[in-house]
Amino acid sequence: MEKLPILLSVLVTLLLLAFLLNPRLQTHQTITASAEVVPLIRLDLPDPESVMKERMERIERVCADLKIPETSGYMMFYFPKFKLSWTPVFKSSSTTWKRFFIDHILPPEANYKGNHYSFQLIERFKLTKKRRKPTGSEGRKRKWTPEPDDSIRFTIIRHPLSRLVSHYRKTLVSEKDQKYFEKLWIIPAIVLARKNSKWPKTQQVKYEKELSDWINRKMQASDSPNNPYLSLPTFPELVSFIFEYRGRKDWRGMNQHWRPAFGWTDVCFADFDYVMKLENEAVEMPFLLEKLGLTEYADELMNSKANPSGTKNVVGTDVIEHLGQLSIEQQTKLNQIYKNDYKIFGYEPIFVNVSNMVPS
């Protein structure tokens, strides 16, 4: 028994040496007694400057190969106070950055229809092709009158399927979002999926009116108890709606929450200086803030729960769960929509319970 403490001490020493000498062990995470995940110090984190340089080179190379035409359906804002030009990609930290710019360039009392954080508040900072310079710097492609050639352009992207699922999940729990998207996609998606062609026109109109009242919390006692519309769209119903309307030129096919980022940002023509991946925020955001001159605002702009590894295109279990609700055909078709995002930004398609299937 007297030798037991000595043996335990030797064993602990050997385990410690094994840990220190094995870099693979140093990249893992440990679980404490309280079941909290505590990241260890990583010795193999990528150099963010090299990662960014490689990404920007990839964008330029792939864009040249794809020969994608220039669009006019994107947003870019120029903020003279910071000499920054920003294109928001919705569900990619766009709300955080919108709030930051509003807080730091507008007075506290500024609001749009009672909403202090509406994009309408910064509309006057938006660059449009109607405001081209008579002559632009072709090297920098700064062709709009308020934007100097030395402005810094940036955007933040995210895996498109993560953006889509994030938007869907938020809409399910936000009454404000349900009212906003009522006519944009909620009612059309429900009608597309659940309408019975045998219903008379009066019944169809009645059901839709009841659905609108239900969304706006104006339910009446006379509402039909058997109205099949009175529940929010399922994820497969949203995806079916996207398939139906995405190719159209009307407002229903242009929803910014699921539009591919390559087209929304016009990345092949926008001459961005930096394109950050939200999945790698813990590593890339400090680098980006330094380049933008915003290091002092890190507490406002960084997510404290950001992925600490900074090495993977992280897709959450919520995305996997929602994709699992789709058929193989739907998953293939959905990934196909985002094939240019995958090629340009280096993301991978996601399939659940499907192997060796990659969009062509």
pLDDT by residue (tens digit) across 52-95? Answer: 999 999 999 999 999 888 765 568 999 999 999 999 999 999 99
Whether 133 has a pLDDT exceeding 80, the answer reads: no
Three-class DSSP category at 154 = strand
**Which is higher by pLDDT, 143 or 43?**
143
For residue 314, the model assigns a pLDDT of: 56
Which has the closest alpha carbon to 16: 44, 8, 31?
A: 8
- What's the pTM value of the predicted model, to 2 decimals? 0.80
For residue 254, the model assigns a pLDDT of: 64
- Maximum C-alpha span of the chain: 90
235-245 helix and 160-173 helix, angle to the nearest 10 degrees: 120
Of 2-16, 157-171, 185-199, 274-288, which range is least confident? 2-16
For residue 37, the model assigns a pLDDT of: 32
Whether 34 has a pLDDT exceeding 80, the answer reads: no
Whether 287 has a pLDDT exceeding 50, the answer reads: yes
For residue 141, the model assigns a pLDDT of: 66
Q: Residue 44's Cα: distance from chain center in Å? A: 26
CA dist., res. 280 & res. 309, Å (int): 8
Whether 11 has a pLDDT exceeding 60, the answer reads: no
Q: Amino acid letter at 248?
A: R
* Range 315-320 average pLDDT: 86
Three-class DSSP category at 137 = strand
**Which is higher by pLDDT, 245 or 166?**
166
* Range 321-336 average pLDDT: 95
The phi and psi torsions of 196 (rounded to 5 degrees) equal -105, 120
CA dist., res. 41 & res. 189, Å (int): 47
Q: Give residue-wise pLDDT tens across range 206-232.
A: 999 999 999 988 766 566 778 999 999
Whether 197 has a pLDDT exceeding 50, the answer reads: yes
For residue 40, the model assigns a pLDDT of: 35
CA dist., res. 289 & res. 48, Å (int): 12
How many C-beta neighbours within 10 Å does residue 52 have?
Answer: 21
Which has the closest alpha carbon to 281: 261, 256, 304?
A: 304
Query: Please, what is the average pLDDT of the chain?
Result: 81
**Which is higher by pLDDT, 308 or 213?**
213
Find tokens 């955080």 and name the residue. Answer: 96
For residue 159, the model assigns a pLDDT of: 96
Read off the DSSP letter of residue 249. Answer: S
Q: How confident is the model at residue 248 (pLDDT cuts 50, 70, 90)?
A: low
